[in-house]
Amino acid sequence: MGEAIRQSFTSPSDYLNREETASYKSEYRAGEVIAMSGGTINHNTISGNIFALLRDRTRGKGCRPFNSDMKLNISAHHTFVYPDAMVICGDIVRLENRQDVVCNPVLIVEVLSQSTQNYDRAEKFIKYQSLPSFREYLMVDSQSCRVDTIFKRNPQEWQMLVYQDLSQSLHLQSLDISLTLEEIYEDVIWDGDA
């Protein structure tokens, strides 16, 4: 999940200015700057696979996927994060016309690791729900074959589906596309397989 690099309050503008020249990525949570740790081989393989699949499957649909280099502003929680992937359909809403911060994804993807999975499943999901455009959350385990999708059925109800077999296909409601777990986990080496 990362560690706080400052105890004193940091303003959003100071954070954004610092991120422009930083040698590593940090998240911003209501005045606190959290340095992000690097990912594992599996984490990077999975996030790369998902971005490539989203890019391929959304081509020509008026949607654009972004990888983990794009910041997401969650203004209701005074938070900036770097999802592993996200998709915006229609016009891209940027923070103050910045090229490095977006505000309106319909789909957000997080590749779960041991250190971040509790935060990603709970607190982060609650924050994401404050985004009016947000309709679906894809959480992909990097240590075992498990993918959870949570999609918005109506303003008060979210539905979660769990997939745990490489032969399964999941349908992303927000984009009307399907992905197989075999595609998501392509080239992943599980402990004990090497």
pLDDT of residue 1: 44
pLDDT of residue 106: 99
Q: The domain 40-71+81-184: what is its CATH number?
A: 3.90.1570.10
Task: Work out the mean pLDDT of the chain and round it to a whole number.
Answer: 93
Please give the model's pTM, rounded to 2 decimal places: 0.93
The C-alpha atoms of residue 3 and residue 92 are separated, in whole angstroms, by 31
Average pLDDT over residues 69-82: 97
Express each pLDDT in 116-150 by its tens digit: 899 999 999 999 999 999 999 999 999 999 999 99
Alpha helices in 59-152 (DSSP H): 117-121, 123-128
Average pLDDT over residues 22-39: 90
Q: Is 2 a residue whose pLDDT tops 60?
A: no
The C-alpha atoms of residue 31 and residue 29 are separated, in whole angstroms, by 6
Q: Is 71 a residue whose pLDDT tops 50?
A: yes
CA atoms within 13 A on the CB side of 37: 11
Confidence grade of residue 191 (pLDDT, cut at 50, 70, 90): confident
pLDDT more than 90, % of the chain = 84
